[in-house]
Copies of this chain bind each other. A is one copy, B any other.
């Protein structure tokens, strides 16, 4: 284990020592893996106040404060920041870009040491468990044995569930928001549409676009547009856009007549500026492969058998049709069956899956209340 002294306490890029390759579920291994991470707050003397945050598909390590490249607020400032449920004044908050990502961690756009060129499709397929395994090694390097909490929404919630299954002794509590213990057929289907859009773009070049100075921008934009619809509820789209036009009258052509068209085109176009197309393939694949019960003989409760002492908080949103409440209930039933401590909140919201990133006072209050109890139990209060 790397000594805590060798790693900065506020973030940066941590290169795994030569003695610690990342061994993947596929059997492949990555030598010298780099994890880009960020922390907020200070680890206490007892090392009992560390909170690991796990990010969603296209997000990154910048959970709070200002994002260094976009200048926008971090993606979870509703939940993390001064006076928020997760507060740098009392917590040591860590978030790392996932393996396979494109915000500084090793991924398909990184240089393959064997060739000196971008990995492209030579990069090994990764899983949610691989992401979590790498995070656990980073947490080791930070000198933290037990995390006060592991917290995440959407794909981040999958990582939280995997933490509970893989390292139950290393977490005191776990918060799973708007997530699922496995990808459904519809989830896989939407991801496959996105991948086919990317891979069908001639500029994808079999994954080697970087070698050709090209980028499959149109395909990736279409992938993002399709995915974006799944992040919003029908009601939210209707409330925000309805059938409002961009201009007076129809164009009688194929320009963006409706505001919702213009909005989606913008979502697609801005996404390609900040995200790598191959990372999109790899991370969606990791999510599609995720099926926590399958790792445990098809019985989800078995995944949590050793996590009986972990305090769980599961949250879902009524209008989330991507990871609907039924998926959260499925998790909660398994936790109950395993004898784990689980609290569950279904939050009334018309904002769809994206609610977990938006202003949802009940979510904030529920997390604050849950963490308050966790801190008391941990002797921090």
Binary per-residue interface labels of chain A (185-197) against chain B in the complex, 1 for a CB within 8 Å, 0 otherwise: 1101110110111
Query: Known contacts being A184-B237, A222-B200, A238-B185, is A192 close to B253, with CB within 8 Å?
Result: no
Chain B's nearest CB lies how many Å from the CB of A188? 5
Binary per-residue interface labels of chain A (240-272) against chain B in the complex, 1 for a CB within 8 Å, 0 otherwise: 111100000010111011101100110010000
Partner of A199, one of B226, B229, B254: B254
Chain B's nearest CB lies how many Å from the CB of A193? 5
Partner of A237, one of B185, B232, B281: B185
- Interface hit among A60-68, A142-150, A283-291: A283-291
Q: How far is the CA of A330 from the CA of B170 in the complex (A)?
A: 54
Asked if A252 contacts B190 (CB within 8 A), the reply is no
Asked if B196 contacts A260 (CB within 8 A), the reply is no
Q: How far is the CA of A262 from the CA of B239 in the complex (A)?
A: 36
User: Residue on B with the closest CB to A185?
Assistant: B237
Asked if A238 contacts B186 (CB within 8 A), the reply is yes
Query: Known contacts being A125-B252, A222-B200, A225-B193, is A258 close to B186, with CB within 8 Å?
Result: no
- Any B CB within 8 A of the CB of A218: yes
Asked if A200 contacts B185 (CB within 8 A), the reply is no
Q: Enumerate chain B residues within 8 angstroms of A294, measured Cβ to Cβ.
A: 243
Leading 10 A-B pairs by shortest Cβ distance: A200-B218, A185-B237, A125-B252, A185-B241, A186-B234, A192-B261, A185-B260, A26-B252, A193-B225, A197-B222
